[in-house]
Amino acid sequence: MKDFRRLLKIEFRRIFSNKVLLAIFFGAPLLYGFLFGFVYNQAKVIDLPIVIVDEDHSPISDKLIDAFDDNEALKVADVRYSPGEIAKEMPFKEYAAVVNIPKGFEAEILQKRHPEIRVDLNMVNILNANIASKNIQTVLMTMNAGIEIEGLKKQGMPPAHALEAYESFRINFNKMYNSTGNYLTFMLPGLLAAIMQQVIFLALALVFARDFEDGYFHVLAGTHKWAFYHIFLKAVPFLILIPFMWALVSWFLPFFRIEADIFSLPMLILTALLTLASMGIGMLFSIVFPNQLKATELLMVISTPAFVLSGFTWPSLAMPGAISAFAEIIPVTHFLNGFRKVAFYGGGISSISHEITMLIVITAGSLLAMLILLQLKIRKSRKNPPEAVA
């Protein structure tokens, strides 16, 4: 134990002497947490610019324009009376949609000819297009219902009967689990988990790789012959530091008023297993690739697309089988699946049994591979110490 404590102090000194590691480990979660939090802090998209081409110049088209302008998500950037050359303006204006009100629109409504309003959606940004489409449709349907009801009232039907005649049935949407549609609530937890996985990957990718590069591994191999001892020695400083970083990261959710039940036993288990699995993969790469730059570069290949492949934003069922299978070996995939079940649905440990099992399998698999590979390297180093090689 005396030797272990001495070596542990050396490990802490080596960690805190590595400026790159400190910047990644302590700086990235806080910087990105604030950055992404404030990016999505508005929580919903508002004031999407639209153009209205009003070729009718009628009272009804004026009411329609006012209705669009009153919608929170839309902003009438321009009203014009002929289409002009909107396509040439798009690189500069990037309108979300163009609403075309045809000539004779009011007259055809009064004559029951059912005129058509054409909406041209800008599909370059799918999120903006979907929000614009939904709100434009809401405005048009509301206006359409109002015109129909007014027509029935003019025919002498009482207002209450006119409403009943038009509305054959009602629709009531009950929004659950993020009922306000807050985009920050949806995105930030997933981004923070992906960031923490990447930070752990990169930090642990340096532990053995650095030792191989500067020759310190020969010193370690001479102190103890068993791989598990050295893996535990390298892991202990991070097992102390990482919970501290998780505590800071978890603070972002209440800070940005995100309603999610994250302070619970199931979430603690998920977080601990994500940490261990990420540490295992990072340390494994550090042993396999005895070069800090190469180990971190190759881990970036896994960590960079991890958030997209996790199924958090795009469902795994819609991905090709090979890609979704690859995503199964990425710890954050299972963490985010479990996070939804616990933080939003209120699930318990039994609801995340699959995610727990998969994270344990990833941790155990990486630990077994580490033990085998590191034991071989230790044996080689003890047989051929630097003095003998020289």
| pLDDT top residue among 40 and 324 | 324
Q: Which of 73-87, 100-114, 306-320 has the lowest average pLDDT? A: 306-320
**Is 80 in a helix, a strand, or coil?**
strand
Identify the bridge partners of residue 53 per DSSP, sorted by sequence position: 80, 100
- Percentage of residues of the chain with pLDDT beyond 90: 29
Task: State the DSSP string of 321-373.
Answer: HHHHHHHTTSHHHHHHHHHIIIIIT---GGGGHHHHHHHHHHHHHHHHHHHHH
| pLDDT at residue number 225 | 86
| pLDDT top residue among 20 and 266 | 266
| pLDDT at residue number 390 | 35
The most confident of 241-250, 258-267, 298-307, 359-368, by mean pLDDT: 359-368
pLDDT band (50, 70, 90) for residue 90: confident
Domain-wise residue ranges, the chain: 2-40+183-389, 48-166
| pLDDT at residue number 168 | 46
The whole model's pTM is what?
0.76
- CA-to-CA distance for 181 and 190, rounded, in angstroms? 16
| pLDDT at residue number 163 | 58
Average pLDDT, the chain: 84
pLDDT at residue 228 is higher than 50: yes
- CA-to-CA distance for 84 and 153, rounded, in angstroms? 38
- pLDDT (tens digit, 9 = 90+) per residue, 180-189? 677 788 888 8
pLDDT at residue 61 is higher than 60: yes
pLDDT at residue 386 is higher than 70: no
Does 3.90.10.10 match the CATH number of domain 48-166? no
| pLDDT at residue number 376 | 92
pLDDT band (50, 70, 90) for residue 346: confident
| pLDDT top residue among 277 and 261 | 277
Average pLDDT in the 159-185 region?
Answer: 64
Classify 261 in phi/psi space as left (phi over 0), alpha (psi -120 to 50) or beta: beta
| pLDDT at residue number 159 | 65
Q: Which of 6-10, 54-58, 147-151, 256-260 has the lowest average pLDDT? A: 147-151
Q: Which of 47-51, 149-153, 160-164, 262-266 has the lowest average pLDDT? A: 160-164
Non-local (6+) Cβ contacts of 185 within 8 A are 43, 178, 258, 259, 260
| pLDDT at residue number 389 | 38
| pLDDT top residue among 19 and 48 | 48
pLDDT at residue 275 is higher than 50: yes
* CA distances (Å), origin 69, targets 63, 86, 142, 270: 10, 20, 14, 46
Closest CA to 103 of 145, 60, 64, 57: 57
pLDDT at residue 388 is higher than 60: no
- CA-to-CA distance for 338 and 329, rounded, in angstroms? 15
- CA-to-CA distance for 216 and 105, rounded, in angstroms? 81
| pLDDT top residue among 176 and 290 | 290
